[in-house]
């Protein structure tokens, strides 16, 4: 049994949810960061969200957001980059993501040029690296 297999049962129970509000993206930008060749991964512990008059934090949820700015290119290029990152995340998650945290992937221009297998491997490595930073309690 490898190190990844030990973490799999706990992560398998996690539900991946999409980040939708600007505040969630801004909060992640203030958290821990891990760079990759084709992206920057940001992470922060999930904050309480108002739900029917009370604050709710779903400890089993993993929030995921993708940001692709106009610096990357026009709409076609940005959409293609977003689709590549989304598919890489779909194959990877919820495995290395820590439940109860929000993650934002900020695309860099290399996200479109990098071979897909390499992109997915880099994302996995970034999640493991950011997990170590979160465990130490520093960004």
Contacts of 3 (CB under 8 A, 6+ apart): none
Query: Structurally, what CATH architecture does the domain formed by 3-136 represent?
Result: 2-Layer Sandwich (3.30)
Give the Cα separation of 133 and 118 in Å (integer).
23
The shares of helix, strand and coil residues in the chain, as percent rounded to the nearest 5, are 45, 25, 30
The most distant pair of C-alpha atoms in the chain lies apart, rounded to whole Å, by 46
Q: What is the pLDDT along the chain (139 residues), one digit of tens a residue?
A: 444 444 444 445 678 889 999 999 999 999 999 988 999 999 998 876 655 544 455 667 889 999 999 999 999 999 999 999 999 999 988 888 888 889 999 999 999 999 999 999 999 999 999 888 877 765 5
């Amino acid at each position: 049994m490898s190190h990844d297999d030990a973490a799999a049962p706990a992560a398998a129970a996690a539900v991946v949810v999409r980040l939708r509000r600007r505040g969630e993206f801004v909060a992640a930008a203030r958290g821990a960061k891990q760079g990759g060749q084709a992206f920057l991964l940001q992470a922060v512990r999930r904050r309480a969200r108002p739900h029917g008059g009370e604050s709710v934090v779903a400890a089993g949820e993993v929030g995921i957001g993708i940001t692709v700015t106009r610096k990357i290119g026009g709409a076609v290029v940005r959409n293609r980059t977003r689709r590549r990152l989304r598919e890489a995340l779909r194959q990877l998650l919820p495995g290395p993501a820590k439940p109860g945290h929000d993650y934002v992937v900020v695309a860099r221009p290399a996200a479109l040029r990098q071979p897909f297998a390499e992109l997915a491997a880099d994302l996995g490595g970034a999640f493991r690296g950011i997990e170590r930073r979160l465990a130490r309690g520093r960004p």
